[in-house]
Structure 1
């Protein structure tokens, strides 16, 4: 059976490309400001890990909004834009950080955290001159930018921390972009993203994916209508959701397996996507 699953058209409107770069740039700079502000006022290295993850995730959400708004259906282009904006965000936060450190007062080695104030001209000077940032990074690395157990972290350990930070900021949005809006069903006929509809009832746990796909692919939808009894407790079952639009010739079905297991006296749910965007004819369900 050909065309069994949804496949994006790969279309990348010029407005989606340009608009995402422009709005993504603005968003990345705003997020960089928030990121540095949080790090500056909450100088706890363990907490900063979550802040860094949030920075990377924030870049993804800004761009995912852009991709959805301007109807980008090309995952490769989405990942490329995400990488470019993530690099820009990483660069912007360094430009801001070194400009603040340039005007800082205080000590890194004792109980006093450095004090500084934002200077737009200083930020612009560093932002427009990468060599200034690199020189500042080398100088900061010698003295340290934060303390651990009241001792400044510098040298090789600080380079390692910065490398991990860079990895988190760049990799987090890219990983998320692989499962972003661009993989979801889009109706080329209606020129709109399809609406998601949750199908009612709990279905039998999918033990044989190929058999279920074969039946559904042959327009046999008995499985979807064969609901489990609501009067019984089920620890293994499946649920389904459907993507559809007003006039498109096809719908797309996704099925999840759910399993409940007991761990340390508590029930934990494991949810797995077993069938994703299976193509069926319009009004099949």
Structure 2
């Protein structure tokens, strides 16, 4: 059952990565539309995997009730028949639910418990790509002038840890970039510092600055890093940095 959870999570994540690749190619910048497309595709994928599953079970040799199918093969016509007829899938699901599709502690899981498992699987397949899409390609800077996604460049050096975000944002907003050039000494070991990334394109009039805080703490004899985004995509004039 744990393996099935990972498979389901991977399926949901795969939907996101495929769509995120498409959104990047399509130059889709509207986050709301991206989320809507993600939801619709996730619903279609959930439905299609059920059509595939029941078509494979229809062609399988063996018995249900927790036993293993001896042999099964993909049949395109069978898949199309189930895919185009939701009522067939529903009837098959009811039949599968009566006998169970897997065992837990050598007992077939069926009835209400199996419906609950399927509901959880549906939630994972739908919610996983949606959550990931909130931080997908559509949040990144796009140059309307150059019609390209802006390139990311990591600025050199470690910066002072951002303790007062508003003060740093105010300074940068007033075109005072002394903070970004005030690097910490490389000769000293720092457990709290910041790093910066800059997004830009060839001719766009603006760039976008992102700053992360880094903190290292010791846990059980090992150093662990915590990275937090404190300033995201702050718009500044071109060639400011």
Q: How has the CA–CA distance of structure 1 residues 164 and 248 changed in structure 2, closer, same or farther, with 3 Å as cutoff?
A: same
Cα offset, 1:66, TM superposition? 0.8
Superposition deviation, residue 214 in structure 1:
0.3
Contact 1:241 1:254 in 2 (8 A): yes
Partner of 2:99: 143
**Per-residue deviation, 1:160:** 0.5
Cα deviation 1:86-140 (Å, max 9, x = unaligned): 0010000000000111122223446644531111111110000001001110110
TM-score between the two structures when normalised by the length of structure 1: 0.83
- Contact 2:146 2:202 survives alignment (8 Å): yes
Q: Distance in 2 between matches of 1:179 and 1:170?
A: 16
Question: 1 CA distance for matches of 2:130 and 2:230?
Answer: 23
Give the match's secondary structure for 2:184.
coil
Change (3 A) 1:98 1:195: same
* Structure 1 residue matching 2:203: 3-state secondary structure: coil
Distance 1:110-1:131 versus aligned 2 partners, 3 A rule: closer
Tell me if the contact between 1:108 and 1:147 (Cα under 8 Å) persists in the aligned partners.
Answer: no
**Conserved? CA contact 2:65–2:101, under 8 Å:** no
Distance in 1 (CA, whole Å) between partners of 2:102 and 2:64 is 6
Give RMSD over aligned pairs. 1.1
In structure 2, the CA distance between the partners of 1:128 and 1:73, relative to structure 1 (3 Å rule), is same
1:79-118 correspondence to structure 2 within 5 Å = 79-109=35-65, 112-118=68-74
Moved more, 271-280 or 100-109: 100-109
Q: Does 1:59 align with 2:27?
A: no
Output the CA distance in 2 between the equivalents of 1:231 and 1:113.
64
- Runs of 4+ aligned structure 1 residues displaced above 6 Å come to none
Is the contact made by 1:249 and 1:282 (CA closer than 8 Å) also made in structure 2? yes
**Paired residue secondary structure (2:80):** helix
How many residues were matched structurally?
Answer: 241
User: Are 1:194 and 1:245, in contact at CA under 8 Å, matched by a contact in 2?
Assistant: yes
SS in 2 for 1:105: coil
- Superposed CA deviations along residues 161-189 of structure 1, whole A, max 9, x for unmatched, are 00000000000001111111111100011
CA distance in 1, matches of 2:216, 2:236: 30
Inter-partner Cα distance in structure 2 for 1:189 and 1:146: 55
Which stretches in structure 2 are left out of the alignment for 5+ residues?
none
SS at match of 1:109: coil
